[in-house]
Amino acid sequence: IIGVVGVNSEYPPNDSYEDLLEWAKEHTPSECYTILKSTKLCNSLIPYRRIFDDRKYVELLGEKWPQSYILLGDAMCKFNSQYAQGMTHAFRHARELGKIFDEHSHKLEDISYIFNRPASTISEEYWIGSTTNDWKTPRLKLITTDKTGEIRTYQRGGDSNPTKDLEPRVPLMIKFLQCYNYWFIRCAAKSGSLSTYLVHVISQDCNPLILMKPTTLLKVCYMALIHQFCLSNN
């Protein structure tokens, strides 16, 4: 299976393979074009234009959560499929639910809300990675629902905003993580152990928090500060 992805509503054409090839010639590196050109098409092109992150903060309801009603995998939290995290996330939810059943210490109707908390902790790991990157997208739409059920829509980028939605404000935590990621990757380029951690996180073997161990955090902040200091001295 070959996937061709666009960003900011610049979708590759899906009406014919010839048009897709034309698009790839213009928009992708020559190696990608060569691979696509030498590929034998076995099926029709399948478009998918529903790339977004969507999370239900189920744990906030605590015991008020409906009894015997369990959300799992994408139903609880869906990620931008570009980062290929959804299956690991769903399997980890299933394993966690299995563990709770195996304990045989809870009433069946309570299991759903008991499951919500550890399940949400699992979702958080993938949510951070996905949303930290997606907040960088110039054209962004954000829809939030608060505890009272009020829905708010924010939007940035694009040629027009006929609904006059508010601009979304990047959360401080996301700004920090974006900056941290940038400097972490620069440090990892010079450190075998840091690049190994990064590979483990990308391949979803490890919790992303491993990238923020105190010594690593210090190294990354030190590099960022030194760079800033050198720049301000020049």
- Other Cβ atoms less than 10 A from the Cβ of 2: the count is 9
CB 176 within 8 A of CB 135: no
Q: Which two tokens stand for residue 5?
A: 């992805």
Of 75 and 226, which CB lies nearer to ligand FAD in the complex structure? Answer: 75
Residue 118 in the binding site for ligand FAD (CB under 6 A):
no
- For residue 151, which amino acid is it? I
- Each residue 27-56 as x (binds ligand FAD by CB under 6 A) or -, in order, gives ---------------------x--------
Q: Taking the complex as a whole, how short is the minimal distance between the CB of residue 49 and ligand FAD, in angstroms?
A: 10
What's the DSSP call for residue 9? T
Residue 85 in the binding site for ligand FAD (CB under 6 A):
yes
Q: Taking the complex as a whole, how short is the minimal distance between the CB of residue 74 and ligand FAD, in angstroms?
A: 4
Q: How far apart are CA 138 and CA 52, in angstroms?
A: 14
Of 81 and 178, which CB lies nearer to ligand FAD in the complex structure? Answer: 81
Q: Which of 12, 73, 118, 168 binds ligand FAD (CB under 6 A)?
A: 73
Q: Which of 22, 53, 74, 165 binds ligand FAD (CB under 6 A)?
A: 74
Residue 80 in the binding site for ligand FAD (CB under 6 A):
no
Q: Which long-range contacts (CB under 8 A, 24 or more apart) does 34-38 make?
A: 35/2, 36/2, 36/4
SS3 percent helix, strand, coil of the chain, rounded to 5, is 55, 5, 35
Residue 168 in the binding site for ligand FAD (CB under 6 A):
no
DSSP 206-219: S-GGGGG-HHHHHH
Residue 12 in the binding site for ligand FAD (CB under 6 A):
no
Q: Taking the complex as a whole, how short is the minimal distance between the CB of residue 54 and ligand FAD, in angstroms?
A: 11
Q: Which two tokens stand for residue 181?
A: 């990621």
Residue 222 in the binding site for ligand FAD (CB under 6 A):
no
Interface ranges with ligand FAD (CB under 6 A): 48, 73-75, 81, 84-88, 90
